Structure 1
Amino acid sequence: MVKKRMVIILIMIQLAIFGLIGRLVQLQLVSTESFHGINLIEASVAQRTEQLVIDDGRGVFVDRNGQPLTYEYIPTLVLFPFLKKMDWPIDQIAAIVSVPKEVLNRQLEEAKGPIILHDGQQPIQLQPWQMERINDLRIPGVIAVHKQYELKQKYAQHVIGLLGENEKVLKERYADRNLSPKTKIGVSGLQSSFDEFLIPDEETKLLYHVDARGEPLFSMDVKYTEQANPFYPITVQTTIDRTLQQRVEQIVAQHGMEKGAVVLLDVRTNDVVALASAPAIDERDPYKDGAMENKALLPQVPGSVFKIVVAAAALENGLVHGQTFNCDRKINGEQEEKKKGMRSFEDSFAISCNRTFGELGKQLIAIDENMFDVYARKLGLLPRVGWEGDVYHFSSFRPLREEKKGNIWTDERDKKIPLAVAQTSIGQKDVRLSPLAVANMMATIARGGEAKQVRITKKMMYKNGTTFFTFDEKRLTMDSLQKETIDKLQELLQLVVTHPEGTGRSFQSLPYAVAGKSGTAETGKGELVNKWFAGYFPADRPKYALVVVQLETTSSASVTNAIFADIVRVTYDLEEKGRYEE
């Protein structure tokens, strides 16, 4: 009985040993790279490695002058913690960086991993000669590098967009690439549009190996690993001017605009110089109050800004003959609260008389029911206005992929209803235009009638600085207004400001002469309206087109004109300092 029991025990021991051996074989030989989803080899190496990421490997954005918009690269000194356990020429390094050696010793004593030599919260920035002297010494654990840092000042967040981790989407997009599940991808803005060009191949990092006790393996120097591809990551050069972008965002914030957008275009190139959307994005809660929406790219009710389209169509179709219009009446024939009397076409435009444009609109649709659509396209309002084209192996690539199409009619039957036509003529009913599109219309007029696509990116560059792809200027349409019509529209837009009753007369004292058009659009939400001012400046030699819209505000609380005026003043100040000389 005892003998039988001992046999059973021995068999169990043998089975346990075989089980352990099998498990060891599985761990060491069979499932080393896929044990419960874990790469045991990589995990083992990581456990014996100390490292410092220098660059996450993702492509970056810069402004039109090459100034960084996402990350900056600061020349810094990296120290590894094993230095505190060995003799090294600390006096030499302290002398080169002009920092007392006590500071270096203290920071090393507190270090639990590789550190950047710092002064409080800021890294100590090195000069090129300092970096060269430090690296020439070839001291193990002491190396000068350009370390990537996220900019503290956020620029054009709605344009650039945000990054986020999403392992499922990452695998769906990049199934053929061996990427870490922690790799960040673009979730909005240009980060999303250009994600396939920006996604990193590998991090750039410094690392060294340690033994089981955490002691350095001195036979192995600190290693510098970087992306194997010498051309990546890509740098995307935008058309944004970082200084003007910052000032525009400050002005919007100072005036407390809670919801709206600002678009500033370079008239000659049709480039976005600055673009802001309110509310600003809080990265801790980016979707709060719809902040992630770029209001500049979304169609809004334009109100009287749309009268520019009606004016252009009326001029080219011979409907303006010096007649007068009864501006004491509304478009439905009812009495206006404020009587404005009989007015000429020019006066009607300057004071924004609804009756005049309601009547002209009905005459135009009677001639051709597609009249508004035709002239909206000629003026660069429809369908979308952002740059679109073939890029590398992507057809119809759109940097501003969040831009939505504008709209004039929702129900074609409305073209047969006089009141609906009149409402459409003054930018109400179903008319929806994005601030970007309205800015494009102003730039088209200021430029002399040539409608272009709006550019937000100039080019993509390889890591070595050579150009990978250029976003050339492109026409939006070849169908333009007659020169006489453009000349008259420019005259009318200036009259809005110079006329004693003009809706833009408050801009008469600005350092640049302004031409433009106001708009007050009913939103269907009680007294809340969209307040617009769209224009360009200087009026006699146009350089910038500017649109400011405050959404869902009351007329009395509107800060649209104040923001517009301040941006003109800021631009004037920068121009006068010679910053934008050709």
Structure 2
Amino acid sequence: MKNTVKRIHFVLIIMMIMIGVLVGRMAQIQLIDTESFSKEKINLIESSVKQRTQEMILNDGRGQFTDKNGVPLTVQKERRLVVFPFVKEMTWPKEKVASIMQHTSATLDEQINTLDKPAVIGETLTSEQAKEINALKIPGVFALNVQKKVKNPVAEQLIGITGENKNVMTKRYNKKVNDGELSINTPIGVSGLQSSFDEFLIPEQESKLLYHVDRRGGPLFGIEVKYTGAGNPFYPVSVQTTIDSSIQQKMENILDEHALKEGGAVLLDIDTNEVVAMTSRPHINQQRSSGVGNRMLVPQVPGSVFKTVIAAAAIDSGIDTYKRTFNCDLDIYNKLEKQAKRKGMLNFQDSFAESCNYTFGTVAKEMVKENKTIIDEYANKLGLVDPVGWQGDVFHFDDFKQFDNEGKGIIWHQDKASTYSKEIAQTAIGQRDVRVTPLAVANMMATIARGGEKKQVRVVDRIQYKNGATLYTFQPQKLQGDHIAPYTAIRLRQLLKEVVDHPKGTGRRFQSLAVQVAGKSGTADIRAVEGKNTNIINKWFAGYFPANHPKYALVVVDLNTESSTTPTNAVFYDIVNTLYPK
């Protein structure tokens, strides 16, 4: 008997514990963690409301990007007809609405009868059409400004993408998520400017129309549609870039016409050092999030473009480059080049124009013998090592950077490499360990064209409130560190012009353009791709124009391509020709 009583007591205790756990769980769900349930930070109230609410989002509340003239780059507003499904059960003047829209009522009926949630119907409306429709005051039928993604957006890798990332959301906005100000599922910037400027762009509140429905989708509290939206006149903000969307679109088209698969182009305004256009390939695959990286910010093997650094060092070092000639039948290892590559005896200027490897390998070894760090010094003076994008303190953001994940240049992987003759020669022609970003190369050309003045590259001019007032302006800033002398810049400009003007110059193709171009070509052999020796190369052309009164600096690079199919020079030619047609 005693054992039976004990078993009953035991069972009752277990049941009480289970009931206590259940009550605790109910309290957690109903009272305690209603807006931040579980590690997923689920807003239970919001989820519950969504189950019995149909809504039409007019604006997601996220800040947007514009070009330098205020042209939308990511989203735009359109006047559209918004219709809620419950109108199917109503009698309303659909013939009148169809007439205003210049449709037939049958066409309108066909579109509405398939609705099971609020949707946009028909084409863009004029302001007069919208005014006439709204004057009818039909429940569930509205002519409103609706946010719409820009079709085929330009500068997609530069602007970047957004997406849901609960881990990053929790880490970056933990307090706002815990306070219920943001949902754990709020899209955030994943790459590009969307990521760099995310804390300015994150939405305060969506603007939407909503109504409550029963389990069959019918109106729960009548047919009144409610509007909810941010009442703040300052948000969301817009980020005004320095991009010229017209030039950007033309540059995008040129790359696509020439089927440049991997690489891209950077166009800078030399006076302001702002990005006028920047495009990267491959295109972004939104479904798989591939192609997201901006190749213009990733260090690449530059090939002979790097000879510009060696030339700058040679001009200043005292090495005699005026009277000497160099045996350009030889390669950097003092062996005979293939017959097609032999150039004979050339002076320093002709060596630069025809891109003689022997000359620059020889000169580099002589300079390093006198000063072991001379290549590093001039790479830094020309801005090829450290990031060149705008950075500085912005409000409470210390060392804010406009460019997301801009890479640093590399000259040597190991200090000892700079003491070996073979490695020095390879470095002098932009091979071996050398890696620089196309943005930094464009900035180098702009620096030379300005007479040696180094500036940070801006891609965003300002952040503006919704009412048009300015929240913050990114002022031009100098790039820190030593720079080349004006005399050195003058000599470099002469060498860069000769690359195009010389009868055998590697840029002679550009002689037929309407304006004179100065620049440097580069061909970098990419060995051991997937463990095999291949003929894969990086093909560059970097320069500025018009040569005598520089306005633009331009870099085009075709990465990991076969030498017989590279369109680099054709792309460079067409971009210049677009800006300065004959």
Residue 457, structure 1, aligned to residue 460, structure 2: yes
1:543 corresponds to which residue?
A: 551
CA distance in 2, matches of 1:366, 1:506: 37
Give the residue type in structure 2 aligned to 1:424: T
Residue 422 of structure 1: CA displacement?
A: 2.0
SS at match of 2:175: coil
Distance 1:109 1:552, change over 3 A: closer
Deviation (angstroms), 1:430: 1.6
Q: Secondary structure at the match of 2:492?
A: helix
1:468 aligns with 2:471: yes
User: Aligned runs of 1:64-143 on 2, under 5 Å?
Assistant: 64-118=68-122, 124-143=123-142
| Corresponding residue for residue 121 of structure 1 | none
C-alpha distance in structure 1 between counterparts of 2:302 and 2:37, whole Å? 58
State the partner residue of 1:302.
302
- CA shift at 1:517, angstroms? 0.5
Deviations 1:129-183 (A, max 9, x none): 3333433443322222111111221321211112221223212221111222321
2:381 matched to which residue of 1? 378
Distance of 1:229 and 1:154 partners within structure 2: 28
Is 1:331 aligned with 2:332? yes
CA contact (8 A) 2:163 2:190 kept: yes
Gaps of 5+ in 2: 1-11
- Offset, 1:512: 2.4
Distance 1:386 1:401 in 2: 9
Instruction: Name the SS of the counterpart of 2:125 in structure 1.
Output: coil
Residues 365 and 167 (structure 1), Cα distance of their counterparts in 2 relative to 1, 3 Å cut: same
C-alpha distance in structure 2 between counterparts of 1:34 and 1:206, whole Å? 22
Distance change in 2, residues 1:529/1:222 (3 Å): same
The answer to whether the 8 A contact 2:35-2:45 is kept is no
- 2:283 pairs with one of 268, 280, 283: 280
Cα 1:219/1:376, change in 2 over 3 Å: same
Letter in 1 for 2:254: I
Secondary structure, aligned partner of 1:110: coil
1:499 aligns with 2:498: no
After alignment, is 214-223 or 310-319 more displaced? 214-223
Which residue in 1 is equivalent to 2:146?
147
Contact preservation (8 Å) 2:192, 2:403: yes
Residue of structure 1 equivalent to 2:61? 57
Report the Cα offset of residue 39 of structure 1: 5.7
Q: 1:106/1:256 Cα in 2 relative to 1: closer, same or farther (>3 Å)?
A: closer
Code of the aligned partner of 1:355: Y
Using the TM superposition, give the Cα deviation of residue 534 of structure 1 relative to its aligned residue in structure 2, in angstroms. 0.7
Q: Give the counterpart letter for 2:110 in structure 1.
A: R
- Once the two structures are TM-superposed, the CA of residue 220 in structure 1 deviates from its matched residue by 6.5
2:569 to 561, 564, 567: 561
* Partner deviation per Cα, 1:35-86 (whole Å, 9 max, x = no partner): 9767665445334322111111111111222222211111112122233333
- Match for residue 409 of structure 2? 406
Q: 1:367 to 1:147 in 2, by over 3 A?
A: same
Match of 2:351 among 327, 348, 351: 348
Percent identity over paired residues: 50
Q: TM-score, normalised by structure 2?
A: 0.88
Query: Quick one: structure 1 residues 449 and 97, their matched pair in 2 at CA, closer, same or farther if it must change by over 3 Å?
Result: same
- Which residues of 2 match residues 147-166 of structure 1 at below 5 A? 147-166=146-165
Whole-angstrom CA distance in 2 between matches of 1:299 and 1:43:
45
Give the conservation status (yes or no) of the 8 Å contact 1:164–1:185.
yes
| Structure 1 CA distance for aligned equivalents of residues 424 and 44 of structure 2 | 71
User: Is the CA contact 2:59–2:147 (under 8 Å) kept in the aligned structure 1?
Assistant: yes
CA distance in 2, matches of 1:39, 1:188: 27
| Counterpart check, 1:190 vs 2:193 | yes
8 A Cα contact 2:169 2:188, kept in partner: yes
Decide whether aligned partners of structure 1 residues 360 and 126 sit closer, same or farther in structure 2, where only a CA change above 3 A counts.
same
Cα distance in 2 for partners of 1:185, 1:39 equals 18
The Cα of 1:246 is off from its aligned counterpart by: 2.3
1: CA distance between counterparts of 2:186 and 2:139?
30
Aligned AA (1:242): S
> Is the 8 Å Cα contact of residues 140 and 223 (structure 2) preserved in structure 1?
no
Q: Which residue of 2 aligns with 1:7?
A: none
- Matched to 1:76, the amino acid is R
Cα separation, 2, equivalents of 1:331 and 1:168: 51
TM-score, normalised with respect to structure 1: 0.88
* Structure-2 change in CA distance of 1:409 and 1:90 (3 Å): same
In the other structure, the counterpart of 1:202 is 205
Equivalent residue, structure 1, for 2:239: 236
Q: 1:486 to 1:129 in 2, by over 3 A?
A: same
Q: Distance in 2 between matches of 1:432 and 1:32?
A: 51
Q: 3-state DSSP class of the match of 2:523? A: strand
Aligned mate of 1:367, from 366, 370, 378: 370
CA displacement, residues 178-220 of structure 1 (integer Å, 9 cap, x when unaligned): 2223211121111111111111122110112345664436766
**For 1:360-404, what per-residue CA distance to the aligned partner results, in whole angstroms no more than 9, with x for missing partners?**
212322332222222222222221111111122111111212111
Q: Which residue of 2 aligns with 1:448?
A: 451
Report the counterpart of residue 292 of structure 2 in structure 1: 292
Measured after TM superposition, the shift of residue 457 of structure 1 is: 1.3
Secondary structure at the residue paired with 1:149? Answer: strand
Please name the residue that 2:525 is paired with. 522
Q: Which residue of 2 aligns with 1:416?
A: 419
Q: CA deviation at 1:495?
A: 0.7
Q: Distance in 2 between matches of 1:326 and 1:50?
A: 79
Match of 1:388 among 391, 411, 424: 391
Shift in Å, 1:254: 2.5
Between 1:188-197 and 1:43-52, the stretch displaced more is 43-52
Report the Cα distance in structure 1 between the residues aligned to 2:35 and 2:242, rounded to whole angstroms. 46
Aligned residues: 552
CA contact (8 A) 2:244 2:276 kept: yes
More divergent stretch after superposition (207-216 vs 538-547): 207-216
Q: Offset of 1:460 from its aligned partner?
A: 1.1
CA distance in structure 2 between the partners assigned to 1:326 and 1:215 by the alignment: 87
Aligned to 1:3: none
Shift of the 215–413 alpha-carbon distance from structure 1 to 2, 3 Å rule, reads closer
Matched, 1:46 2:50: yes
**Secondary structure at 2:128 match in 1:** helix
Say whether the 8 Å CA contact 2:37–2:44 is kept in structure 1: no
Cα contact 1:378–1:477 (8 A) shared by 2: no
Q: CA RMSD in A?
A: 2.9
Q: Could you tell me how far apart the structure 2 residues matched to 1:467 and 1:536 are?
A: 33
The one-letter amino acid of 1:168's match is N
Partner Cα separation in structure 2 for residue 229 and residue 315 of structure 1: 59
Aligned AA (2:74)? T
One of 259, 262, 267 as aligned partner of 2:265? 262
List alignment gaps of at least 5 residues for structure 1: 1-11, 119-123, 577-582
What letter corresponds to residue 201 of structure 1 in structure 2? E
SS in 2 for 1:508: helix
Letter in 2 for 1:193: S
Structure 1 residues 459 and 520 mapped into 2: Cα distance closer, same or farther (>3 Å)? same
Find the partner of 1:572 among 548, 572, 580.
580
Give, in whole Å, the separation in 2 of the partners of 1:293 and 1:399: 15
Q: Deviations over 1:473-508 (max 9, x none)?
A: 111136332222212211111111111111111111
